[in-house]
Chains A and B, each alone.
Chain A
Amino acid sequence: MLRHALKNAMIPVISLIGLQMPLYIGGSVIIEAIFRLPGVGLFFFEALSKLDYPVVQSVNLIIAAIVVGLNLVIDLSYAFLDPRIRYH
């Protein structure tokens, strides 16, 4: 079951991860702002309120790069999870 069922069932799950990831990063900014948790979100929010645009730009860029990279990994893992999918 682990080997056959789980592997095939994982495909929609990981594609969902790729889609939801940006939303939750956005949500984490708000949570960090509410509870003053020291993270990238709070860093970003404080940069915003100080109009520190280089920081705002680089946080956006880094997170976008993470999201794109994650989606690439997810696309490639389809081939691992389902050998019928091949990339040429």
Chain B
Amino acid sequence: MADFEPRIVAFLCNWCTYTAADLAGTSRLQYPPNVRVIRLMCTGALDPVYVSKALLEGADGVLIGGCHPGDCHYQSGNYKARRRIAILHTILAQLGFDPQRVWLRWISASEGQRFADTVTEMVEHLRRLGPNPMRELPMS
């Protein structure tokens, strides 16, 4: 397990968290390279199907990053995303899959450090959890 490198798929909103990730880069902040970023216009545009797909194909964690509550570029997309992720968490828990592999975090465009810290924290968390058990299945 010592050489286990968690793989994180991140769905980041264009206006806040993606820009924060960009800022972390341009500020030369250091954080683990375990995250693969997919840019969305809004967390409210994220269908849970893509989160589920990542998990079923063996991603060890999924990070969903959006604007802080009240700051959504489209007024309320992040509140809607929060309900969808709450439902996904409930479903995963019901099906015996640890919902704490799916993180929803609010990171604004100016919070580059917060983005780097979040990724660092999530990688540590996933190292403790170990690999996604779905990894071993020949695609379900």
Is B truly associated with A? no
